[in-house]
Structure 1
Amino acid sequence: MTTEQIEKLSDKRILVTGGAGFIGSNLIETLLNNNIRVVCLDNFATGKRKNIEPFLNNGNFKLIEGDIRNLGDCQKACDNIDFVLHQAALGSVPRSIKDPITTNDVNVSGFLNMLVAARDAGVKRFVYAASSSTYGDHEALPKVEDVIGKPLSPYAITKYVNELYADIFHKTYGLDSIGLRYFNVFGRRQDPNGAYAAVIPKFVQQFISHESPMINGDGSYSRDFTYIDNVVQMNINAITTDNKKALNTVYNVAYGEHTTLLELATLLKEYLSEFDSNIKTIEIKHRENRIGDIPHSLASIDKAKQLLDYQPKYDISNGLKEAVAWYWKNL
């Protein structure tokens, strides 16, 4: 955070929903490190208590254990809040295919509850986690914010509905918002466990355990992998910008380069081998492609650079080195 950003937020209160999750806890850590007051709302369905344990004795931190599907919890959390960083959601395309009802309840009904609570509390700005899955079956690369296709999963539908609701709440009630379409975020505190673990922490854990990572398809599918510190920067820029033209729209949050899954696994193998030379010999295996997966993902970040002064500092290589070092110490 810049000195100017810290000054702008020094007397403000910020609500981070899903604050015990991967992205939310990193946002909270950055804010608290700069003496900014933070409220965390989480029901710990996917968030981890260990992610927020270091904050519990901080006088600037308040935890509200609650569920965004409960309007009363949202209203309690939004009381006397200046800015909302809404990260709470049920992620994962496969989970949404298996259980579309719960995904919709959390991601759509919960999102609407948060908008209503923020509106009624007089929140100044509502910044929310959108998703690159919104681009759906639109094949052109790079992805540009105003051109999307049809969704390929229930999860993608819910995240697009979020954008529609945010737009309506600005036009109807005057609630300013910014949507951040995350592209495959990775980094410290991302959970490698569970059926719906993201690919990077899952591969890291498998390599460390001397297991062969399993790539869906031939490994040619590609993603715009985005290190967590780039995402934190974008969220902070979104709540501190004075540029009125930057509000009430959506932005890609990425690095602007794509990496194939095979390239990713190869890089992880190389970086982890520096800690354990036996990892060099581990074979990378393949299986069938997954239903609902987008073949390729690459973001244009021109809009974010122009309107929000977004300057991502971590490419895939630097980000992976940071992440691998963290996992080696913490897994």
Structure 2
Amino acid sequence: MANSSIYKILITGGAGFIGSNLCEYFIHKGHQVVCLDNFATGHRHNLNAIINHPNFQLIEGDIRNLADCKHAVEGADYVLHQAALGSVPRSINDPITTNDVNVSGFLNMLVASRDAKVKRFVYAASSSTYGDSEALPKEEEKIGKPLSPYAITKYVNELYADIFNKTYGLETIGLRYFNVFGRKQDPNGAYAAVIPKFVVQLMHHESPIINGDGNYSRDFTYIDNIIQINELAMFTQNQDAVNTVYNAAFGDRTTLNDLIFYLKESLTELDAAIAQIPTIHGPNRAGDIPHSLASIVKAQNLLDYQPKYSIQDGLKEAVKWYWSHLK
């Protein structure tokens, strides 16, 4: 990026997978970084590399508490809002908590950011917003009806962000994340994402379980592409690029069967026995969409977004990280 100024950046959910990667990146870029996290899904160990850095501040607090939001955003130039309860199945099991965090918490952060007069509020939106729209690739202006409580909350975020721009002049940019993966993504827990879960299962010589026949496809997006688009969104000087939403993706789709093949390919270089591990197929999961593929033309044109990591490049990096950290 051409931007050489030093800023104070608040990253909510900064102890989570994406948030902690953003915290590290911007600390290494010389910025002051404040992390707000309640550790509901984030982990302290994700911050080990920067916890004692003089430009890093950790605030343990909850976005559902307006006072915590106001305290965290004090003096911040920019907000990267990553805090949320992810997972479609979790939202189906507990829609109230998902709504409290993702809608009420989001609104608290918008109010706090407006009152603190931050330069821009960049937030994690979601590809789940496309809902039942069958059109491929997914284009930002064409969405369907949401298929889960989680998807509803992420769409409401976009509506609130738009209103806060129009009503209060707060600059906002939403990034619709598509199946982000990479270092620090948690392989454990009931709602673990598919890639870390598969990697750890294969490393332990356990059969990965695919929901359905394995022909569902996703636009898997490596974490470094996501860091790039957050930085571009935060610092863009192009006023046509602000107060809208973008697909944050690579722009290619991979079936779950192909995903297993690529993972085995990378892991077999480290442990030949992994090649022989069979895959188990289970039932399809409620609320899942069959296929997901992003158009990234809008982000390319308005933000100059050029994702560097394909799924195969990203998987090689991710596998190396899991092997060295979790083996």
What is the CA deviation profile of residues 210-241 of structure 1, one whole-angstrom value per residue up to 9, with x for unaligned ones?
A: 00000010000000000000000000001110
Partner of 1:99: 94
Aligned-residue offset at 1:35 = 1.1
Q: Choose the corresponding residue for 1:193, options 177, 188, 192.
A: 188
Partner of 1:68: 63
1:134 aligned partner, one-letter code? T
Aligned-residue offset at 1:55 = 1.1
Aligned-residue offset at 1:253 = 0.4
- Segments of 4+ in structure 1 off by > 2 A? none
Alignment partners' CA distance in 2, 1:129 and 1:14: 15
Aligned-residue offset at 1:29 = 0.7
Alignment partners' CA distance in 2, 1:48 and 1:96: 21
Where does 1:119-138 land on structure 2 (aligned, <5 Å)? 119-138=114-133
Q: Choose the corresponding residue for 1:264, options 233, 238, 259.
A: 259
Q: TM-score, normalised by structure 2?
A: 0.99
Where does 1:281-300 land on structure 2 (aligned, <5 Å)? 281-300=276-295
Alignment partners' CA distance in 1, 2:235 and 2:266: 36
Where does 1:108-257 land on structure 2 (aligned, <5 Å)? 108-257=103-252
Alignment partners' CA distance in 1, 2:293 and 2:86: 20
Q: TM-score, normalised by structure 1?
A: 0.98
Alignment partners' CA distance in 2, 1:35 and 1:175: 25
Q: Secondary structure at the match of 2:122?
A: strand
Alignment partners' CA distance in 1, 2:264 and 2:198: 9
What is the CA deviation profile of residues 6-28 of structure 1, one whole-angstrom value per residue up to 9, with x for unaligned ones?
A: x13x1x10000000000000001
Alignment partners' CA distance in 1, 2:172 and 2:164: 9
Alignment partners' CA distance in 1, 2:23 and 2:44: 13
What is the CA deviation profile of residues 73-116 of structure 1, one whole-angstrom value per residue up to 9, with x for unaligned ones?
A: 00000100000000000000000000000000000000000000
What is the CA deviation profile of residues 16-68 of structure 1, one whole-angstrom value per residue up to 9, with x for unaligned ones?
A: 00000000000011111111100000000000000012211101000100000
Q: Choose the corresponding residue for 1:41, options 33, 36, 44.
A: 36
2:120 aligned partner, one-letter code? R
In the alignment, structure 2 segments of 5+ residues that lack a partner are none
In the alignment, structure 1 segments of 5+ residues that lack a partner are none
2:252 aligned partner, one-letter code? E
Alignment partners' CA distance in 2, 1:232 and 1:167: 23
1:156 aligned partner, one-letter code? A
What is the number of equivalent residue pairs in this alignment?
326
Q: Secondary structure at the match of 1:264?
A: helix
Alignment partners' CA distance in 2, 1:173 and 1:203: 45
Q: Secondary structure at the match of 2:48?
A: helix
Q: Choose the corresponding residue for 1:82, options 77, 85, 88.
A: 77
Alignment partners' CA distance in 2, 1:227 and 1:34: 20
Alignment partners' CA distance in 2, 1:49 and 1:57: 12
1:231 aligned partner, one-letter code? I
